[in-house]
């Protein structure tokens, strides 16, 4: 798991604002809207962190400087369609138990109805981001649910929900992704290796935060595998 932020200078405090996931020794997958925002451009990535409030842990977290980033060519701010991007680190990551690349989905995830989202986001709209890395179990909703919710002509989704490239995921309980979770992974169990997870989605946007029965919008990863592969070859 990666956390993305901006540090104005080496002596400044880092403003952490998004999540991501390591997919190669120098590349992090995240949401395109996390690359540039009103809080600035991402220029630092932390890997191996479990608890920002604790120095007594085995994960040995480390910060990496950003060499560059790229959003999918179909992404056009302020819209959240094709909300997927890559961050390149200035140096290769030495893999260990807490810092290693995630598995990408080489099969369509549509057969799965159960997911896990991970991040440091807040646990409520008015709350601060969590210091501890959290996970939450979520379930798939029918595309029609999100199509109905997105008929309000939101600025981020003026053409409504796109089931080909987006996932409609949430919970009937008061659990959800929230502010600060954007860019983080939506995971499902590997079909052949139950102890492994596959990154099938990227946290993109939500209409609420922890409201039962109101799902969020996640960018599907599978349709973008070709773009990811091409970009990694030249990035």
* 183 shares a domain with 93: no
Q: What is the pLDDT of residues 41-50, one digit of tens each?
A: 999 999 999 8
* 153 shares a domain with 86: no
Q: What is the pLDDT of residues 98-141, one digit of tens each?
A: 899 999 998 787 768 899 999 988 876 656 788 889 899 999 99
Say which CATH number the domain at 194 has: 2.40.10.10
* 10 shares a domain with 60: yes
- When pLDDT is cut at 50, 70 and 90, the band that residue 200 belongs to is very high
Q: 125 — phi, psi (to 5°)?
A: -60, -35
pLDDT for 39: 86
Percent of the chain residues topping a pLDDT of 90: 66
* 183 shares a domain with 88: no
* 199 shares a domain with 118: yes
Annotated catalytic residue within 33, 130, 176, 181: 33
* 181 shares a domain with 160: yes
The pLDDT of 214-220, averaged and rounded, is 95
* 114 shares a domain with 84: no
pLDDT for 152: 67
Residue 16, beta-bridge partner list: 5
Among 206, 223, 224, which Cα is nearest to 215's? 206
* 158 shares a domain with 55: no
* 78 shares a domain with 130: no
The pLDDT of 215-230, averaged and rounded, is 97
Parent domain of 190 = 109-222
Annotated catalytic residue within 82, 83, 171, 181: 83
The domain tally of the chain equals 2
Mean pLDDT of the chain: 90
The pLDDT of 31-37, averaged and rounded, is 95
On the question of pLDDT at 57 being above 80, the answer is no
* 113 shares a domain with 218: yes
Question: What are the start-end ranges of the E strands in 145-224?
Answer: 166-170, 185-189, 197-206, 216-220
* 97 shares a domain with 115: no
pLDDT for 169: 96
pLDDT for 70: 98
pLDDT for 123: 75
pLDDT for 43: 97
* 114 shares a domain with 72: no
Q: Is 72 a catalytic residue?
A: no
Q: Is 176 a catalytic residue?
A: no
| C-alpha separations of 228 from 62, 80, 150, 166, 231 in Å | 25, 18, 28, 16, 5
Annotated catalytic residue within 27, 122, 130, 182: 182
The model's pTM is: 0.93
Q: What is d(CA 93, CA 47) in angstroms, rounded to the nearest whole number? A: 9
Q: What is the pLDDT of residues 149-171, one digit of tens each?
A: 887 667 899 999 999 999 999 99
pLDDT for 195: 67
Give the pair of three-digit tokens for residue 232: 């990694």
Q: Is 114 a catalytic residue?
A: no
pLDDT for 46: 96
pLDDT for 209: 82
């Amino acid at each position: 798991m990666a956390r993305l932020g901006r540090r104005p200078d080496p002596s400044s405090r880092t403003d952490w604002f998004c999540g991501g996931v390591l997919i190669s020794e120098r590349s992090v997958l995240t949401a395109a809207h996390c690359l540039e925002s009103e809080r600035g451009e991402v220029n630092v990535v932390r890997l191996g962190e479990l608890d920002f409030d604790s120095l007594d842990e085995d994960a040995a977290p480390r910060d990496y400087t950003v060499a560059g980033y790229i959003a999918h060519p179909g992404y056009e701010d302020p819209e959240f369609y094709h909300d997927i991007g890559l961050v390149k680190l200035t140096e290769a990551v030495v893999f260990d138990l807490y810092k290693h690349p995630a598995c990408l989905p080489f099969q369509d995830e549509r057969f799965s109805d159960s997911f896990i989202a991970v991040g440091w986001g807040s646990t409520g709209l008015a709350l601060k981001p969590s210091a501890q890395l959290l996970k939450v179990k979520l379930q798939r909703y029918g595309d029609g649910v999100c199509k109905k919710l997105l008929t309000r002509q939101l600025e981020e989704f003026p053409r409504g929900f796109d089931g080909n490239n987006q996932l409609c995921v949430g919970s009937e309980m008061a659990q959800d992704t929230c502010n600060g979770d954007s860019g983080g992974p939506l995971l499902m169990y590997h079909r052949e290796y139950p102890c492994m997870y596959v990154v099938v989605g990227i946290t993109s946007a939500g209409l609420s935060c922890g409201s039962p029965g109101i799902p969020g919008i996640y960018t599907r990863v599978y349709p973008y595998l070709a773009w990811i592969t091409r970009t990694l070859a030249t990035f």
